[in-house]
Structure 1
Amino acid sequence: MKQFTISQEHISTYPNPIILKKGEEVYYGKEDTEFPNWIFCKSISTRKSGWVPKQILSTPNNSGIAKVTKDYSAHELTVNQGQTVFGIENLNEWTYCKTQNGEFGWIPSYCLSST
C-alpha cells in the first residue's frame, strides 16, 4: 500500500453506495463524462444504483444487463486536508484507500499527494 496525504478535502456524495458481489447482474447505464470508464449501474437484486468501473463489468447483453466480475463497493470516503490514507487500487482517476482508523473507500486521485 502506498501512503498519501490528502491535499484537498473530499466529501462523499453517495451516503448509500451500491455494493455488488462477483457474478451479480446489473443494468448497464450511461458512462460518466467527467470520469470516463465509470458506468452508472443498477443492481437487479437490490435495486441500488451507483457508479461501477467498466473494468469489472462484462459486455452488456442485448437487454443491457452485465455481470460483475469481482466484489465491489462504491463507498466514498469523506476526508480532510492533511489526513493520511493508504492507497490500495487506482482506477479511472479514483483511488481505493484505507484510512488510519480502518475505513475503506474511494477518493478522487486529484485529492491525493504522495508522502
Structure 2
Amino acid sequence: MQTYTVIKDYQSCYPDPIVLKKGEEIFYGKEDTQYPNWIFCKSIISKKEGWVPKQILSSPDVSSKAIVLQDYSAHELTVNKGELLVGLKHLNGWTYCKTKTEEHGWIPTEHLFLISK
C-alpha cells in the first residue's frame, strides 16, 4: 500500500455511482478520450450509468452488450488538498484509495502526491 497526500481538491462527479456484480450484463458505450480504457456503461439491471474500466469487461457483442468480469463500484472520493489517503490500486490514470474514515473510492491520480510506499 502507498500513502498519498492530496495536492488538488477533487469533487465527486457521480453522487449515485454505478455498482456492478461479476457476471452482470451491461450496455457497452463509448470510451473516454481524457482517460483511455474507461468505458461509459449502463447497467441492464439498475439502469445506472457510469465509467467502468475496460479491463473488467468482456468484449461487447453485436448488440453492444458485455459481461462484467469482477465486482466493481464507480464511487469517487470527494477530497481536499492536504488529506492523506492510502492507495490500493491504480488503473487508467485513476487511483482507488481509502480515507482515514475508511471510505473507499476513486480519484484521478494527478490529484495525488506519493509520500511513501
TM-score, L = length of structure 2: 0.97
Matches within 5 A, 1:1-115: 1-115=1-115
- Provide the secondary structure at the position in 2 that maps to 1:23: coil
Q: Which runs of 4+ in 1 moved over 6 A?
A: none
* 2-structure distance, mates of 1:109, 1:19: 21
Please report how far the alpha carbon of residue 12 of structure 1 lies from its aligned counterpart in structure 2 after TM superposition: 0.4
- Provide the secondary structure at the position in 2 that maps to 1:34: coil
* 2-structure distance, mates of 1:51, 1:105: 13
* 2-structure distance, mates of 1:110, 1:47: 30
Aligned residues: 115
Could you say what the CA RMSD is over the residues aligned between the two structures, in angstroms? 0.4
TM-score, L = length of structure 1: 0.99
Q: Which amino acid aligns with 2:66?
A: A
- Provide the secondary structure at the position in 2 that maps to 1:110: helix
* 1-structure distance, mates of 2:74, 2:114: 23
Q: Which amino acid aligns with 2:65?
A: I
Please report how far the alpha carbon of residue 40 of structure 1 lies from its aligned counterpart in structure 2 after TM superposition: 0.2
Runs of 5+ consecutive residues of structure 1 not aligned to the other structure: none
Q: Which amino acid aligns with 2:38?
A: W
* 2-structure distance, mates of 1:13, 1:28: 20
- Provide the secondary structure at the position in 2 that maps to 1:3: strand
Please report how far the alpha carbon of residue 36 of structure 1 lies from its aligned counterpart in structure 2 after TM superposition: 0.5
Please report how far the alpha carbon of residue 20 of structure 1 lies from its aligned counterpart in structure 2 after TM superposition: 0.2
Runs of 5+ consecutive residues of structure 2 not aligned to the other structure: none
- Provide the secondary structure at the position in 2 that maps to 1:55: helix
